[in-house]
Amino acid sequence: MGRMQNYEYKTKPFKHQIQALQRGAEAYNFAYFMEMGTGKTKVAIDNVCYLFQQKKINTVVVIAPNSVYRNWIDEIHLHAPFQCHINTHKMDKKFVQDKTKLNFYLINVEAFSHQSGANILKNIMNQHGKTMCTIVDESTTIKNRQAKRAKNVIQLCRQSAYKRILTGSPITKSPLDLYSQCDFLKQGLLGFNNYFVFRARYSVMKQIQVGGNKNVMIPIYYTNLDELEDKLKSFSFRVRKDECLDLPPKIYEKRIVTLSRPQQEIYNDLKQFCRTVIEDDMASYNNKLTEINKLQQVCCGFVKTDDGETKTLPNAKLIELLNILDETEGKVIIWSTFVHSINEIVNALQKKYGSDSTVQIHGIVSLESRTSAVQDFQKNDKVRFLVGNPTVGGYGLTLTAASTIIYFNNSFNLEVRQQSEDRAHRHGQKKSVTYIDLVADKTLDDFVLKTLNQKMKLSAQTLGEEVLKFL
């Protein structure tokens, strides 16, 4: 088998996992661009265990989103062919080293927004950097080069001997997302030590005014993507689910909804004001986003008044949702970005189908309650519906009990959309998964979907893949 020929797997790998390890096992810097459900965590664990057996490392730092990093404990126990020593940020205040074992330190990426998290990593690096592998799981969490956590992770990990990034969606907004992720692996890995030189090579920028005297540069189109694709191939391995897993197909539907008269009237009024704000050179970027957000809220059946109160409107989407559920068998996931909408949906479902029919997950719900809700949804036959925020439910959840996912509304975030889709469409799913988008006719809803599809096209072009779209 070439590389790793003397390595004894604890859990049998799939062919694509062996191929990934053959490419990346001994590399100092490598990216596993493996879609959700293809087993990228197992690949990473086998990779570092192999390096440990080769006496090249004794320490592994895993940096992951808060909802994901806890899963690493179970995954390490499941896949590591020998006993490892595991530390977590909350379990151990100090990093404890067991010289006879491979030592894992698990920490959530959010911690690096604060100096305390940075100090923990700095101490570990100072002690073990030369014999350490650092892994960033869901590496798009450090794609924003200006964010404090990205700066801390990238700078502090320079001295790590080996580095890995894991993600199924390295490009969620534009090809420029790649710079910080690859900069973490190695400065200049893409051929540029300066972000602005990189940006100039792969995009054409335009200066716009976003408020007052503040000017920003935005990309208007992208260039030389074939070249960027070739560079990525030299230090990465790409796996898509449809290439390696025997999963049933995804089915996409769009339900056009006509807004109720009160919704339409308020939407038209807000649309005019929103256009005025967007065209106002003095208006801030945040103010423009706020007005766009208000349009989405109206489409979802509510509006916030000037005095801060939330007014519920006759809701055409909610009526259509209930109609769809009458036609649908089995368990259903319903995603919405607004807590108010989630509450309204939950109340409607519990009134119609019973109080024990529905569970919910969103930012206000405690982690313990979310965990319990997911377990009930997966295992309790009485629980038919899970309603939640796709941002909260995006990472680390398995929701294969559902074969229908309904998007009450979408955000502009492609990663959130892809991750939330894959909660149900992953290993263990036996049925085709149907995705239904509720789209208010002639509103911002349709523009959001078009924007997400454009982002998918850019990602596919950069990664050298077939251009897919959901609708």
Please state, in angstroms and rounded to a whole number, the distance separating the CA atoms of residues 262 and 270: 12
List the alpha helices (DSSP H) in 86-176: 115-128, 148-156
User: What six digits make up the tokens of 122?
Assistant: 């700095």
Closest CA to 438 of 334, 353, 313: 334
Average pLDDT of the segment spanning 380-389: 96
**pLDDT class of 442 with cuts at 50, 70, 90:** very high
HEC string for 406-446: EECCCCCCHHHHHHHHCCCCCCCCCCCEEEEEEEECCCHHH
Is the distance from CB of 208 to CB of 202 less than 8 angstroms? Answer: no
**pLDDT tens per residue, range 119-154:** 888 988 988 889 999 999 999 999 999 999 999 999
Higher pLDDT, 94 or 46: 46
The SS3 of residue 276 is helix
Pairs from 112-116 (Cβ < 8 Å, separation ≥ 24): 112/63, 112/148, 112/149, 112/152, 112/153, 113/147, 113/148, 113/149, 113/152
Higher pLDDT, 86 or 467: 86
**pLDDT tens per residue, range 249-270:** 888 999 999 999 999 999 998 8
Please state, in angstroms and rounded to a whole number, the distance separating the CA atoms of residues 224 and 222: 7
List the alpha helices (DSSP H) in 308-397: 316-327, 339-353, 367-379
Does pLDDT of 1 surpass 60? no
Mind listing the domains of the chain with CATH numbers? 15-200+230-241 (3.40.50.10810), 250-260+308-463 (3.40.50.300)
Please state, in angstroms and rounded to a whole number, the distance separating the CA atoms of residues 87 and 45: 15
Torsion region of 33: left, alpha or beta (phi above 0 gives left; psi -120 to 50 gives alpha): beta
Is the distance from CB of 173 to CB of 145 less than 8 angstroms? Answer: no
Query: Angle of helix 444-463 relative to helix 414-421, nearest 10 degrees?
Result: 80
What is the CB neighbour count within 10 angstroms for residue 263? 24
Average pLDDT of the segment spanning 22-43: 93
Closest CA to 446 of 171, 276, 255, 252: 255
**pLDDT tens per residue, range 210-240:** 665 677 778 888 999 999 999 999 999 999 8
**pLDDT tens per residue, range 187-211:** 999 999 999 999 999 999 888 766 6
**What does the pLDDT read at residue 96?**
64
**pLDDT class of 392 with cuts at 50, 70, 90:** confident
Is the distance from CB of 345 to CB of 408 less than 8 angstroms? Answer: yes
Beta strands in 161-314 (DSSP E): 162-166, 203-211, 214-222, 236-239, 250-257, 302-304, 310-312
Please state, in angstroms and rounded to a whole number, the distance separating the CA atoms of residues 45 and 133: 11
Closest CA to 234 of 288, 180, 190: 190
HEC string for 383-396: CCEEEECCCCCCCC
Does pLDDT of 177 surpass 90? yes
**pLDDT class of 393 with cuts at 50, 70, 90:** low
Q: What percent of the chain has pLDDT over 90?
A: 62
- β-partners of residue 85 are 103
Looking at every residue in the chain, the average pLDDT score rounds to: 89
**What does the pLDDT read at residue 145?**
92
**What does the pLDDT read at residue 410?**
94
Higher pLDDT, 22 or 211: 22
**What does the pLDDT read at residue 464?**
80
Q: What percent of the chain has pLDDT over 70?
A: 93
What is the CB neighbour count within 10 angstroms for residue 129? 18
Average pLDDT of the segment spanning 90-105: 73
Average pLDDT of the segment spanning 148-167: 95
**pLDDT tens per residue, range 269-319:** 888 888 777 666 656 666 777 888 899 999 999 998 878 789 999 999 999
Does pLDDT of 406 surpass 90? yes
**What does the pLDDT read at residue 249?**
81
**pLDDT tens per residue, range 360-369:** 999 888 888 9
**pLDDT tens per residue, range 417-436:** 988 998 888 777 888 889 99
**What does the pLDDT read at residue 91?**
46
Higher pLDDT, 350 or 67: 350
Could you tell me how far CA 35 lies from the centroid of its own chain? Answer: 11
**What does the pLDDT read at residue 396?**
64
**What does the pLDDT read at residue 37?**
78
Average pLDDT of the segment spanning 81-107: 80
**What does the pLDDT read at residue 280?**
63
Torsion over CA: 226, 229, 390, 107 (sign): negative
Higher pLDDT, 428 or 89: 428
**What does the pLDDT read at residue 171?**
92
What is the CB neighbour count within 10 angstroms for residue 94? 8
